[in-house]
Amino acid sequence: MEIPFAESWKIKMVEPIVKSTRQERELWLRQADYNVFQLKAEQVYIDLITDSGTGAMSNRQWAALMMGDESYAGASSFFRLKETIGRLTGFDYVIPTHQGRAAENVLFSYLVHEGDIIPGNSHFDTTKGHIEGRKAVALDCTVDEARNTQLEIPFKGNVDAKKLERALAEQADRIPFIIVTITNNTAGGQPVSMQNLREVRAVADRYHKPVLFDSARFAENAYFIKLRETGYADKTIKEITREMFSLADGMTMSAKKDGIVNMGGFIATRRQDWYEGAKGFCVQYEGYLTYGGMNGRDMEALAVGLDENTEFENLETRIRQVQHLAHRLDEYGIPYQRPFGGHAIFVDAPGVLTHVPKEEFPAQTLTVELYLEAGIRGCEIGYLLADRDPITRENRFDGLDLLRLAIPRRVYTNNHMDVVAAALKNVFDRRENITRGVRIAWEAPLMRHFTVKLERL
Ligand code: F0G
């Protein structure tokens, strides 16, 4: 018989998690104003709110912590991290930061100015925030196919080269650089093909513009290139990674994802001018250049994490778990952004809660129902997150309304995934009876989804 697939690691330490009753969850969620960000983590059984900073470090990473050099300046841990990043990406200049958005803040303080336009593929919220906060425009040039959840194409995270070309043809003087997010989180953890990265590079070169990768999940992107793109099946993840980064001028990195550390980030680049321009902002906002917001020990753990997570077996274990959950949902007929992405399943909420009108936030309603069903915490990536139009103040109902189930790395087993799928199925099975959603009782003027207070209708 064929030997089945299993994880490329075994477990040395466990952390108990507790179930609760539906009655308890009803109370807790009411106290949290139907906003899962306001729940206490101990009120959650399976926590899929994010894959960011929630991964499990390996024995090698824990051992590396002990090697941390906490010297203020010139710590050996910094040089170990710099060497690893240089080897994996080809970038010589490295600035550590405390997380991904801090890398954006430091680099964009140098690169982004009022009136600029930064084209890219579905900029992440914080990336957009750091652009718009500087009175510049984040121009979305994602391929249109990403908006159709049921369309099965291998690289749904791609940049539409025509949209990019048009932006450059019309407004090149306002565009300081192009940003490509790998994988494309907002479009569903969807990868960007090497072919597309090459196309972006070619367009950028024609207009003499640099290219920045938002690289939070670059290793997962490399895995999909290996599996889905012709010509890469026999290349190692490290070879693919090198090739990807050879098409960029630099990267911002949230190390909390594919670096598999709980906190950390960095900027890396081959451009001396970017390094020289950004380094003052690192000192101002983060810390001195050889720690920039990170402990020595965390830089050690990150160096090991980056090395480990650019090995095929680790990524295969990870993505096959996402696939496992996807296959369960396929069995139950539950719609999600297809094909499954790298770090999460994005459930198509209006396709599940068919009777809840969009004005009553189907994805948030599904988030609430899933928590009440089994204590599982997902995260709305939909109409609440989309916020209001800054001018008309109307809710933006034109995008997708998704429930993201983000899977922490090396944390849960496939049994947990089966629990998640079964709970979703139970909600799906009673969808005819779920006819009302939620109403906003109070909201902040910006980034409302973290603090919004809701009422159940
Ligand atoms: N870029 C991408 C693509 C991200 O997904 C994130 C964070 C960031 C940048 C910012 O990094 O959190 O370290 O400051 N995404 C998390 C998420 C929060 O849940 O998707 P950070």
Q: To test ligand 1's pocket by mutation, which of 254, 262, 377 has the most ligand atoms within 8 angstroms of CB?
A: 254
Q: Kindly state if the Cβ of 99 falls inside 6 Å of ligand 1.
A: yes
Task: Put residue 193 in one of left, alpha, beta given phi > 0 → left and psi -120 to 50 → alpha.
Answer: beta
| Ligand 1 atom nearest residue 51's Cα | 19
Q: Kindly state if the Cβ of 265 falls inside 6 Å of ligand 1.
A: yes
Q: To test ligand 1's pocket by mutation, which of 257, 285, 346, 407 has the most ligand atoms within 8 angstroms of CB?
A: 257
pLDDT at position 445: 85
Distances in Å between the alpha carbon of 32 and those of 41, 42, 45?
Answer: 12, 13, 16
Separation between Cα atoms, residue 388 and residue 375, nearest integer Å: 30
Q: Kindly state if the Cβ of 121 falls inside 6 Å of ligand 1.
A: no
| Ligand 1 atom nearest residue 181's Cα | 3
Q: Kindly state if the Cβ of 220 falls inside 6 Å of ligand 1.
A: no
Phi, psi of 285 (to 5 degrees): -100, -30
Q: Kindly state if the Cβ of 186 falls inside 6 Å of ligand 1.
A: no
pLDDT at position 215: 98
Q: Kindly state if the Cβ of 264 falls inside 6 Å of ligand 1.
A: no
Tell me, what amino acid is at 106?
V
Q: Considering the entire predicted model, what is its pTM?
A: 0.97
Buried b (16+ CB within 10 A) or exposed e, 15-53: eeeeebeeeebeebbeebbbbbebbeeebbbbbbbbbbb
CA of 124 to the centre of ligand 1 (A): 7
pLDDT at position 178: 98
Domains and CATH numbers, the chain: 22-51+312-456 (3.90.1150.10), 59-308 (3.40.640.10)
Separation between Cα atoms, residue 334 and residue 332, nearest integer Å: 6
- For 278, other C-beta atoms within 10 Å of its C-beta total 25
**Residue 57: half-sphere exposure toward Cβ, Cα within 13 Å:** 22
Residue 303 is given by DSSP the state H
Q: What is the mean pLDDT of each run of 10 residues along the chain (457 residues)?
A: 96 97 98 98 98 98 98 98 98 98 98 98 93 94 96 97 98 98 94 98 98 98 98 98 98 98 98 98 98 97 98 98 98 97 97 96 98 98 90 91 98 98 98 97 90 96
Alpha-carbon torsion angle 326, 331, 333, 339, nearest 10: 30
Angle CA 205–209–214, to nearest 5: 105
CA of 66 to the centre of ligand 1 (A): 27
> Whose Cα sits closest to atom 12 in ligand 1?
100
pLDDT at position 446: 78
Separation between Cα atoms, residue 371 and residue 355, nearest integer Å: 19
CA of 270 to the centre of ligand 1 (A): 23
| Ligand 1 atom nearest residue 183's Cα | 3
CA of 53 to the centre of ligand 1 (A): 10
CA of 343 to the centre of ligand 1 (A): 12
Q: Kindly state if the Cβ of 185 falls inside 6 Å of ligand 1.
A: yes
pLDDT at position 447: 83
Catalytic residue positions, numbered: 72, 124-125, 214, 216, 257, 449
What Rg value do the Cα atoms of the chain yield, rounded? 22
CA of 39 to the centre of ligand 1 (A): 20
Q: How far apart are the first and last CA of the chain?
A: 53
Separation between Cα atoms, residue 353 and residue 434, nearest integer Å: 7
